[in-house]
Amino acid sequence: MKKIIIILSSIIVIIFIILMIFLFNTDSKNKDIDNVKENETTENTKEKENNEFSTLAYYKEENLDRYKTYQTNNPDLSIEDIVTRVNLNLDKDVYTDTLPAINLNTNYLLVNKFYYLDSNYIPENLELLDSSYAKSGIYLVKEAKDNIERLINDAKNDGMNIRVISAYRSYSYQENLYNNYVKNDGVEMADTYSARPGYSEHQTGLVVDVTRAYDNFNNFENTDEYNWMLENAANYGFILRYPKDKEDITTYSFEAWHYRYVGVELAQKIKASNLTFDEYYIRYLESDNN
């Protein structure tokens, strides 16, 4: 009996030792895991603290490496400009990695060299402009049409003589126009002043090209009408779409005659911001309208 008791005691001691070893190893493993998690959290915190881009509302985590590369190549740009330009894909060649435009048939529709319209896209509510405001056969989305007519009438009361020379263009119209420019000037030059088919804002039905009545549109910058438009167009919902000194953003040459309808409230905000539509869209509109 005494032997049995000794054996049982020994077994209990052995089991106890094994259990203590197991608990010790488990605790050590848990501590190691906790240390790894703590280190990872610390590293992530440090990375976020060092990531100055992430403070911006329009920051996109998937673009972080591109932000860093663009910053290295453009050290004089602000953080806001770096994030904006990369989000606009301006770190890439134009007409590459393009996407279908969204927000169709709205004033927020963004079309540029990275966002395109299908060849069969025709905006809703197109209406013919009266010949007293435009060349014959020119159409605009109704809201834009009503406001450009109001603009022209008020401008006339101020002694200005503004006329629309181009507005909605179909895909096929733009295709023929662009191809003719390419024949005359080559692709590289044509791309600075004309959109490839599907990438033209004119297909949105929200754009007007204007000039002083019966004057060459290339001379519009030198007219009183141009200065009047700069001052007043936003009050009617229009913005100068391709302004001077913003060619690196819009990817188009300055066009004094090209105005985009976005609605009165938004046009006034864009004018006050001194941003292009592209920049304003990325910073303030994209997340709200996707």
Point out the catalytic residue in the list 149, 255, 279, 286: 255
Amino acid at position 273, single letter: S
Backbone φ, ψ for residue 83 (5° rounding): -65, -40
Q: Which two tokens stand for residue 194?
A: 């004309």
Task: Give burial (CB, 10 Å; 0-12/13-18/19+) of 264.
Answer: middle
How far apart, in whole angstroms, are the C-alpha atoms of residue 22 and residue 193? 75
Backbone φ, ψ for residue 227 (5° rounding): -65, -35
Mark whether 255 is an active-site residue. yes
The residue to which tokens 């050590």 are assigned? 28
How far apart, in whole angstroms, are the C-alpha atoms of residue 229 and residue 23? 80
Q: Which two tokens stand for residue 218?
A: 């290339």
Helix, strand and coil content of the chain, in percent to the nearest 5, comes to 55, 10, 35
Q: What residues are annotated to the active site? A: 255
